Structure 1
Amino acid sequence: MNDPHDTPDLTGLIHHPYLPPAGFEAPQVGVYKASTVYFPTVADMRQREWKDKSAYTYGLHGTPTTYILEERLCALEGGLQCVLVPSGLAALATVALALLKTGDEILLPDNAYGPNKALAEGELRHYGITHQYYDPMQPDDLSARLNERTRLVWLEAPGSVSMEFPDLPELVRRCRQHGVLTALDNTWGAGLAFQAFDLLGDGQCAVDISAHALTKYPSGGGDVLMGSIITRDQALHLKIKLCHMRLGLGVGANDAETVLRSLPSIGLRYAAHDRTARALAHWWGQQSACVQVLHPAVPGAPGHAHWRAVCRSGLAAGLFSVMLHPRYSQAQVDAFVDGLKLFKIGYSWGGPVSLVVPYALRSMRTLESAEVAQGTLVRFSTGLESAQALLSDLQQAMQAHLPTA
């Protein structure tokens, strides 16, 4: 009689020989979850190469699911190589850690994504990497700050929160003249509004690196954190990929599956967000409570002409800000935001639910800007609700909390 405490012998279950037949195809990509990857022989293990996606060696180095997502993102953005990271901020940090060393300097636009500036002021400074902020609307200011220690210049189009659209081709030219690499936070453009690797449509003007928060439009659900780093130069890609490997970065298979499932609809969703944002921006432009609409596609907005030159698609995403009249106190603006019902208070954007956040813009900037009016800024991200429903929500909150003069 067996001891009841003996462990059942499940060897046959664990090493069951059945394999499903090959040739299965369906609309969605299969989900491969792995840390360990099997090798048939020691010789095969020693010969496999993960850097060029010709084989599989370990889960962190890629699976069929992540390889497919990387290739489709390259198709979206016009790149040749891609690595996936756990968030958009991780993409920005990985670029910096892969390319910079003690004694180097990095330049960032003064209206850059706040956490990227915090990275420069925190970890990079601790590592002996200095930084400067430049005015992205003044290429001469960038040129004046470029020096023999500058190794990387970040670009952002449009700027975070205040939405100024810079002259991207000119900024890239200035960096090229000094032999400095350019990296673009391409989350807003998403590979749809413009092509980072072909800014003017002539194949001559391109950024070196496109970093993308897949959390936003590629995911589209407000439920996935992921980022990508896309390049067209193999040597540059390898520097980033090796740093990525050494940092032990990876993404979950189910998250990769979610982004893959959402990608086919990104164009439809992006255009829908765009249409609604423009309708709301137009409405805001007619309100006395608003002194400035910050939306690249709105005539007169900072950088509108640059948007027209680069975004030949005519698209402009679903993100915009408004500068409310200085007569309103912060408490009144906060009450207006609290009074919105359909707009939820929350960071990020690109999901199905419209979002709103008030910002103290002056506390976020180092340089004075003549492009943005005085007042209190509120940023809106349009979801997939109807424009009319969102306009009604804005009207009721304004009537209750932002009295006209």
Structure 2
Amino acid sequence: MSDHRVLEAKIGTAGVQGTAELLPDADRHADWSAVRALWQQMGHMLDSGVGRVPAELTEGFVDEIAKVHANYAGREVLFCRHVLAVLADVEGEEILDVDTFRRRYEDDRFTAPAISSATSQRLPTHYETIVESCRRLRDARLLRAACHDTRSTGLLVGSACYGRFRNVRGSRLGTAASDLDLVVITEGSDALEELVAASAVLPGVSAADIERFRRRADVFADGLDDGRTVFSHKLGLWGDGTPDPLLPSGVARPGYLLSLHLMTRRVLEYTLVASAPRLIKESAGGRRTLRDYRETAAGRWDDLYDFAGRRHRMPLEGDQVDHGFLRTPRIYYIDEADCYFPGFYQTMMFPEPDLVWDGLDVLPALKAFRGKLHQRVRHESNQRVHTLLRPSFAHVRRDVFLPGIIRLLDAG
């Protein structure tokens, strides 16, 4: 039976299964001992009257979940079933059904504070973010399969990459679900028609969404594709009533947005400053911008941060064009003190994106850029010997990174 059918059969509207039935299979797939121990430790700590669980414990639990998940590549439904069985067993729950799923999905005992001070957004519960991360990983693979006949590359960025199993939210309590963020690279804009057709087979995408995507792709290809413009577009997934086997009906709304940033190879090379061997004014120039063809003009500021964590803000205005707006964000900026500020699209390339598929072999270009970025940090460190400089300080989303992501990024 397929992963999808397993979930439908065992945890559907009337599905019931004993926790003990799944535990032997879970233990055959992975070592769950650390996950069990940390979940039990967090529960015992709260039961003893401690007001909140230390961040080191919750982050340790996330790290262990990520390690176990590595044994379930491409089997997200089975993974979520096994997580539910293990956590239910620790809690002494004998039966797995929709109510068990809901209790774990809504279990916010270890989520404190309820709102992240870094993002002013609701923090997901542990099982919620596991399920929602898995839904996005699965759907990224579905897009890869749909794009197998196109010459393209897909990079998974955003929270599903650097906040997996920690910050990816569902639509519980009326909050907007986290997007699935992908950078898709093509040789030229002539490949957009194939990408639109590929997107039409994704689950729960409406015909109206695909038609809007097609109209905007035509506008981009006909007059905006100049080698310095990104085509950004969002599609609604699971929003047409299509049931998601990973999320039982009635627990939360399944719909969320697929956020696509489409670049031609020329735009990628321009963003990564491929023409310059070093990120210095003498060879790369003091600033570089690109155009971003977006659906809305949301966002008034172009906020960039340097490796010391200092912000540089400039107004970001948009000009209305057919079916959208053109904005001109900075790719990077080097100020009068010779401090480098990477822009939004450069920060998409670090921490290292997940390479979902790579039909254009862009991995060497990404590695070369990250090498130049760390070379730039060393260059500034030689000038400011007593200043603590870190690549992660330059990322606007650093506060929601997993601790391991920060360590790897700053270590180079």
Instruction: Output the TM-score relative to the length of structure 1.
Output: 0.29
Instruction: Output the TM-score relative to the length of structure 2.
Output: 0.29
State which structure, 1 or 2, has the greater radius of gyration over its C-alpha atoms: 1
